[in-house]
C-alpha cells in the first residue's frame, strides 16, 4: 500500500540540506545526450504586419546559450560541480558557438564527438516584451552512426570510474539509443553508479534498470498509456497509479514527476509517494527547467543526498529558474538562499 507524505522542514533538516549543498563542489557527473544551441532573438512589437495578421518584431539583440544536455552541464557547473558532457556536435558555425560557450564555463570537452554530416541542432526563440512570440528549430533527427556510438562508449568506459552519477538527457535527436544505453547501464551497474534519465516519452522502453527518471506529467501519462498498463476504476488513471506502475515496470528506485505549478511528486520503489509543493513565485519561462531539475537532482545524489532530499533541492532550483527569461541556470548562492528561505 502506498502512503502519501508531504515534506515539512525542521531546523535540523535545513542544516542537512546545507551540508548537501556544500558537497556539490566534490560532485562529478557524466552527462550523456543531445547537444542543442539555444538562440534567443530579443525585440519589441509596435505594430501588426500589413502582409498577414502577425506581429512585427523589431530586433534589438541576439544571444546564444548551451541547450539540451549542455544546459544540464551548465547547471552542474554553476552549482559548483564537475561535469563531463558526452554527445555529438556538427562541424559548423553553430557547433563552434556551443563549444566556445562551454569552454568559457570551464567544462571538460573530451566527451564531445564531431560529425561533418550532422548539423548542430538549433532552437531559435523570438522574445518580445518578455513573451515568446514563436520558436523554430533547425535540426537533423536521426540516430547517430555506429562509429560515433562506439566513440561515445569508449569515452564513457574511460571516465566512468571517476564520476559519482550518470545523467541521460534524451531530447530524441538521435544520441540516446539502445546500442549506447544498454552497455552504459551495464557499466554503471558494474561500477555501482546511479543512472538518472530525463526521458523522451516514446523511449521509455529504453530505460529499464536505471536508478531514477524525471519526466513531466505529460511524459509520465503518455508512457503509461503507451505501455497499455491496465488500471482499475473509471476514467483516467490517477497520478499515484501512473507513478507506482512506472517505477515497477522500469524496475527503478524512484520516479520524480514534475507537475508545473503543483510542484513535484516523488515515487519510490518502497511504495511511498511524496508531494513537494512548488516554490516558484513568478513563472516567466519554463525553457530548460527540466534540465535544471535533473542537474540538481543528480548533483545532490552525488553529494550523498537521499531521494527525498535530492527531490526537495531540485524543486527549489526549478522554482528559481522558471523566474528567469530564456534558457537559464541556477547558481550555488541562489540555491543556498532558497534553502534559507524555507519555512520551518
Q: Quote the CA–CA distance of 209 and 56 in Å, as a whole number.
A: 50
Q: Is the pLDDT of residue 288 over 80?
A: no
CA 88 to chain centre: 17
Q: Quote the CA–CA distance of 314 and 278 in Å, as a whole number.
A: 11
Q: Is CATH 3.40.1190.20 the classification given to domain 3-46+56-340?
A: yes
Q: Is the dihedral of CA 224, 230, 236, 237 positive or negative?
A: negative
What is the greatest pairwise CA distance in the chain? Answer: 63
Q: What is the band of 3 on the pLDDT scale with cuts at 50, 70, 90?
A: very low
What pLDDT score does 31 carry?
98
198 given a catalytic annotation: no
Q: What is the pLDDT of residues 111-139, one digit of tens each?
A: 999 999 999 999 999 999 888 899 999 99
One-letter-per-residue 3-state SS of 232-294: CCCCCCCHHHHHHHHHHHHCCCEEEEECHHHCEEEEECCCEEEEECCCCCCCCCCCCHHHHHH
Q: What is the band of 234 on the pLDDT scale with cuts at 50, 70, 90?
A: low
Q: Which three cell numbers stand for residue 292?
A: 535544471
Q: What is the band of 282 on the pLDDT scale with cuts at 50, 70, 90?
A: low
Task: Name the active-site residue from 115, 164, 291, 340.
Answer: 291
Mean pLDDT of the chain: 91
Q: Is the pLDDT of residue 6 over 60?
A: no
Going by DSSP bridges, is the β-strand pair 35-48/28-33 parallel, antiparallel, or unpaired?
A: unpaired
Amino acid at each position: 500500500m502506498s502512503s502519501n507524505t508531504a515534506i515539512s522542514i525542521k531546523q535540523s533538516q535545513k542544516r542537512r540540506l546545507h551540508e548537501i549543498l556544500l558537497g556539490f563542489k566534490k560532485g562529478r557527473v557524466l552527462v550523456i545526450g543531445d547537444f542543442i544551441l539555444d538562440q534567443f532573438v530579443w525585440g519589441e512589437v509596435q505594430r501588426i504586419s500589413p502582409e498577414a495578421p502577425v506581429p512585427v518584431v523589431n530586433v534589438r539583440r541576439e544571444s546564444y546559450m548551451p541547450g539540451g544536455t549542455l544546459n544540464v552541464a551548465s547547471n552542474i557547473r554553476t552549482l559548483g560541480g564537475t561535469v563531463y558532457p558526452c554527445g555529438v556536435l556538427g562541424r559548423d558555425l553553430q557547433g563552434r558557438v556551443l563549444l566556445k560557450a562551454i569552454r568559457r564555463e570551464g567544462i571538460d570537452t573530451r566527451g564531445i564527438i564531431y560529425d561533418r554530416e550532422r548539423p548542430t541542432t538549433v532552437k531559435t526563440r523570438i522574445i518580445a516584451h518578455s513573451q515568446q512570440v514563436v520558436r523554430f528549430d533547425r535540426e537533423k533527427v536521426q540516430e547517430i552512426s555506429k562509429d560515433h556510438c562506439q566513440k561515445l562508449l569508449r569515452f564513457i568506459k574511460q571516465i566512468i570510474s571517476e564520476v559519482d552519477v550518470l545523467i541521460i538527457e534524451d531530447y530524441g535527436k538521435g544520441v540516446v539509443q539502445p546500442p549506447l544505453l544498454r552497455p552504459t547501464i551495464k557499466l554503471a551497474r558494474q561500477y555501482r553508479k546511479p543512472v538518472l534519465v530525463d526521458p523522451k516519452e516514446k523511449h521509455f522502453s529504453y530505460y529499464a534498470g536505471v536508478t531514477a527518471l524525471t519526466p513531466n506529467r505529460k511524459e509520465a501519462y503518455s508512457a503509461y498509456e503507451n505501455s497499455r498498463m491496465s488500471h482499475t476504476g473509471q476514467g483516467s488513471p490517477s497520478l499515484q497509479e501512473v507513478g507506482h506502475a512506472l517505477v515497477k515496470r522500469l524496475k527503478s528506485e524512484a520516479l520524480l514527476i514534475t507537475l508545473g505549478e503543483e510542484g513535484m511528486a516523488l515515487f519510490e520503489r518502497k511504495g511511498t509517494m511524496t508531494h513537494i509543493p512548488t516554490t516558484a513565485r513568478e513563472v516567466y519561462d519554463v525553457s530548460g527547467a527540466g534540465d535544471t531539475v535533473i542537474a540538481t537532482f543528480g548533483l545532490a545524489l552525488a553529494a550523498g543526498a537521499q531521494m527525498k532530499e535530492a527531490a526537495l533541492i531540485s524543486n527549489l532550483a526549478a522554482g528559481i529558474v522558471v523566474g528567469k527569461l530564456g534558457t537559464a541556470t541556477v547558481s550555488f548562492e541562489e540555491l543556498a538562499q532558497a534553502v534559507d528561505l524555507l519555512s520551518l
